[in-house]
Structure 1
């Protein structure tokens, strides 16, 4: 960690103090022999003190140094060794100035000062040759400062860009974690809503058949227990993912790659149909076409649509209702149709509805630009039909939140 002094890095402060000390020593050492004497030395010390602030206030420092140089010109002392402070101030305003315009203005003033210094320079050379020499030196310092300024601003822009990219990565990571948590919350809703609907139906049936048909009541209770265990296991897995993410949200990619965080696939669809068959529905399933390789998110959407439609059939059509589940695969889309005859045995008490089944299905289907139609059939019962276009790139994966 870099140590600071007066809010600035310590190495920079030490360097500026050294530069100012050298300028001051040059003026004090020549106070006796150089023109101006001790008055010139005071001008030199003023310049040296001003240079201490050249990084933080380069414009003000340049004005002070130029004013002291003007005093030197008015006093007709001629160019002196400590005038190197003028070049240092010029370099500083070009390098550290907020606007390059200040550096250009300082360069123009320095050019005028070079002409005035040349006029007052004793020697055999004509004044314009000396002025040209001073201008070349001043111009070289100005160009070096401009090059350093350009490099400095380039480095600062790279640092700012790196900081911006880091913030964007953090924002994307937080958004991915939030999206993953939303998806998990949706999965928890599906697990609880569908499993509890089956358990309530079977529990009511067991209560109704307890005295009339104990064997069937025991079967219903077994279905309740099996459904509860499966739901609890899936809930534990999903909640475990949330806990593994940690208080800060964790890494969404690590969450998605967690081997325990498996997504339901269509290979598990027969088990789903079997569970609803055990719950009392007469299910006939049909698959047409060759199943293509689907993205995991699209498979999950198909699975949840079938699960939601069967849950609604069990709750509203009743036990012993006949349900037809059809999956049709084409080269352009996968189509799902679930319809019941509405002729099941009425439930002892209606199962409570979450009120978001169709909305949830429609939201999942919309993610993949699909279409959903649901409504009563003319012959009785209910029908849900979904069409999901296949992605042009099979490797493209979208997760329905």
Structure 2
């Protein structure tokens, strides 16, 4: 429920803060608490909303107790007490039909709140003047003043409710000095208690509103984190697919295009060589198909399926006219490490074939050590200047792959001096 929270009269900087009794400023009421909503349109729950039925019960208990005291007292005459009880009965429909909608409204309506409190006071004053015991009802009316009105108006209403019945009763019944003294003391005590109760109500409502704002903020933050996490996951998955496609399918299609060009040039002058290239095209297409199926299923790359890493690299190097040298004790390693080495070798060999020049000599070295695995791909082609920015996705993807498993990728090259790609990955010292 959103209420006016006993706010002070409007001031330039006090539209959402109110001085507590005694001049202390209360905590600001966040705007988010007044319109706090969770995804799906449901209003955010807070303590004040859930506990308002307790106020209904409190009002009913105080009203019943007041009626019992009014009808059970010995003075004044029975018809006066009956009239006072009848006037108290009017408070019930007034509260249910007018008061409760005002007190539980989402948006505070000061005019309706003033009308309700004024009506309640008018219904309360006559029985309060007629029968002193009626003033027990102040304990139900005072909290409503602080719930519905701004602080100054709530204090004014509380003063009227406590003092006016005593003054009217004294003028009507001309009590003794002792009765007047005790009734005056009772009125002052209830006024002080009302102020303390109102201060407590303000704090409870503000805490409720602040908690509602905090819950709404946390909920919004949780949904934002979930959205960002999903977006990050989608981006990471897209980057992974981009690397996989670049290192497998794209390289295979590039090989097919080069083989098609070679076959076209050889059909008229070297038919046996053309047939050899056609067979290589068939093998490359099948390899690409196997890689596509492995990519879709998320399984092991085709080259590593049922083979060791050195065997896969040896077949890969042979397809590019390169040789493989393996050093150190060969042992099974985690699949992620072997995939990074395989893809790095594919990228390095493809780059050597595309950029090193015609028929470069390429050597591939795979070195096993106790705590690392290193791949080196060296060509004696034209080389390039690593300091000059280059386009493309290959080298960046190669470095990203190595970094994902805690490794490094280094490219050494110079114009006219060939190129060396070195990938070094940490691995467990024992068999995986």
The answer to whether the superposition gives a TM-score over 0.5 is yes
1:2-401 alignment, distance < 5 Å: 34=83, 49-56=98-105, 57-58=107-108, 60=110, 61-68=112-119, 78=129, 86-87=141-142, 89-90=144-145, 92-93=147-148, 102=150, 108-109=155-156, 112-113=159-160, 115-117=162-164, 119-120=166-167, 124=179, 125-133=182-190, 135-136=192-193, 139-140=196-197, 143=200, 146-147=203-204, 150=207, 154=211, 157-158=214-215, 161-162=218-219, 164-210=221-267, 214-238=271-295, 240=296, 260-262=297-299, 264=301, 267-268=308-309, 270-279=311-320, 281-288=321-328, 293=333, 296=336, 299-317=338-356, 321-329=360-368, 334-342=373-381, 355-365=392-402, 370-376=408-414, 382-388=418-424, 390=426
Shift of 1:228: 0.9
CA displacement 1:80-138 (0-9 Å, x = unmatched)? 68767733524634xxx9xxxx5x65664465345424643557224113431464467
Supply the distance in 2 between the matched residues of 1:53 and 1:116 (Cα, whole angstroms): 25
Secondary structure at the aligned position of 1:262 is classed as coil
Report the counterpart of residue 5 of structure 2 in structure 1. none
Q: Tell me the CA shift for residue 311 of structure 1.
A: 1.3
Q: Which runs of 5+ in 1 are unaligned?
A: 1-6, 241-259, 344-352, 395-401
Q: Structure 2 regions of 5+ residues with no counterpart?
A: 1-42, 68-78, 383-389
C-alpha displacement of 1:176: 0.6
User: How many residue pairs were aligned?
Assistant: 338
The answer as to whether partners of 1:285 and 1:326 remain within 8 angstroms in 2 is: yes
CA 1:273–1:209: 2 relative to 1, 3 Å:
farther
RMSD: 5.3
State the structure with bigger RCO (CA 8 A, min sep 6), 1 or 2.
2
TM-score norm. by structure 2 comes to: 0.57
Deviation track 1:327-364 (CA, whole Å, cap 9, x = no partner) reads: 34557765432112349xxxxxxxxx995433443454
Secondary structure in 2 aligned to 1:52? helix
* Alpha-carbon distance between aligned partners in 1 of 2:372 and 2:344, rounded to the nearest angstrom: 15
Q: Residue by residue, what CA displacement relative to the aligned partner does 1:228-276 show, whole Å, maximum 9, x if unpaired?
A: 12213323454x4xxxxxxxxxxxxxxxxxxx20254694463244144
Please give the alpha-carbon distance, in whole angstroms, between the structure 2 residues aligned to 1:150 and 1:31.
44
